[in-house]
């Protein structure tokens, strides 16, 4: 929206490429760059926040559900058994967020320009003028569906996928989107993200079929019991930086379950390794967009080129979080698990 104002055009969106700055007035270029920097910081903090919060609960990440199913943990058990690692990481992760904004390092700390704020306020005023009962009803529906989503996940009403489909049906139907061609646009932006996930799935499936992880797992299981959790954390963390963390967790937890069934490890050791696998795949994976679905979706979205958020920039901006979350997580696994 500000890009339109800065280029001296009206607030209409047709026929304009927002990723090109050729039409932007020279006096507005600095505000535009600051606005992009502000949005990059905001979105990267949010993406990292999904990892910080996602590792803490049963429904936070897909691999959490997988690991808890294999281990036989309920919601409360998952939270408590992960807490010695997840709570310190959550604290230091939030502290890192505040520190980055204060220091302005690694591309963070940009403030919303006053001119941009004015444009946004004017836009909000125009939106408020057009608000009516129908608009308010849509907001109420979205709030109710959000509450249903949270309660449904926490209470395990159904499989996560079915709850997701229920949310889609409720939101679309009660917002008047009932024709098939209207639904298609909502899925177009997710196609690059989905395509990359399919590629990752195929690669990890080949790795699993060829048992390429087995030598690493056997080598770690041959170590002393007190060394195994941090070594599993490191192995899972490294692999999750270059491949999707869900698939890495899938392979490792199944291998560890096989070791438990074979009597190679005890139930207590299995629980310790499950904690290491879950935290190892969730925390260091913020290093690259490969590992975290939130990062990958952001990178492949239509918003990324508008705010100049490239793969390399994401890696640089995620670096302090990678060091803090990975370091604190490893220390907690080594000391408390």
C-alpha span between 275 and 268 (Å, rounded): 11
Q: How far apart are CA 38 and CA 107, in angstroms?
A: 9
Domain map (residue ranges) of the chain: 25-131+188-336
How far apart CA 318 and CA 88 sit, in angstroms, is: 19
What is the pLDDT at residue 161?
75
Give the chain's residues under pLDDT 70.
1-28, 186, 204
| Token output for 180 | 């098939």
Q: What is the pLDDT of residues 27-70, one digit of tens each?
A: 668 888 889 999 999 999 999 999 999 899 888 888 888 898 88
Q: How far is CA 271 from CA 78, 244, 305, in A?
A: 10, 23, 43
8 Å CB contact between 106 and 319: yes
Q: Quick check: pTM over 0.75?
A: yes
Pick from 61, 58, 87, 86: nearest CA to 74 = 58
């Amino acid at each position: 929206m500000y890009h339109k104002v800065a280029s001296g055009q009206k607030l209409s969106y047709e026929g304009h490429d927002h990723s090109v700055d050729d039409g932007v007035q020279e006096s507005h270029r600095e505000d535009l760059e600051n606005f992009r920097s502000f949005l990059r910081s905001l979105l990267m903090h949010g993406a990292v926040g999904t990892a910080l919060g996602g590792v803490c609960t049963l429904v936070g990440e897909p691999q959490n559900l997988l690991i808890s199913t294999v281990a036989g943990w309920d919601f409360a058990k998952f939270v408590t058994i992960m807490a010695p690692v997840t709570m310190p990481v959550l604290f230091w992760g939030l502290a890192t967020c505040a520190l980055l904004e204060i220091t302005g390092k690694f591309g963070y700390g940009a403030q919303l320009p006053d001119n941009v704020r004015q444009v946004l306020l004017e836009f909000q005023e125009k939106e408020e003028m057009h608000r009516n009962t129908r608009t308010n009803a849509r907001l109420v529906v979205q709030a109710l569906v959000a509450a249903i989503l949270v309660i449904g996940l926490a209470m395990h009403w159904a499989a996560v996928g079915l709850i997701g489909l229920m949310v889609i049906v409720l939101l679309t139907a009660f917002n008047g989107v009932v024709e098939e061609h209207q639904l298609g646009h909502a899925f177009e932006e997710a196609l690059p993200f989905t395509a990359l996930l399919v590629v990752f799935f195929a690669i990890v499936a080949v790795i699993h079929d060829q048992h390429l992880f087995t030598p690493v797992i056997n080598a770690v299981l041959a170590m002393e019991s007190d060394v195994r959790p941090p070594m599993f954390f490191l192995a899972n963390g490294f692999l999750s930086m270059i491949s999707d963390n869900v698939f890495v967790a899938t392979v490792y937890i199944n291998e560890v379950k096989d070791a438990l069934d074979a009597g190679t490890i005890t139930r207590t050791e299995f629980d310790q390794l499950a904690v290491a696998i879950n935290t190892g795949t969730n925390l260091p994976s913020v290093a690259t967009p490969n590992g975290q679905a939130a990062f990958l979706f952001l990178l492949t979205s239509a918003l990324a080129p508008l705010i100049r958020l490239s793969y390399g920039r994401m890696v640089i901006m995620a670096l302090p979080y990678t060091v803090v979350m990975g370091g604190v997580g490893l220390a907690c696994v080594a000391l408390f698990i």
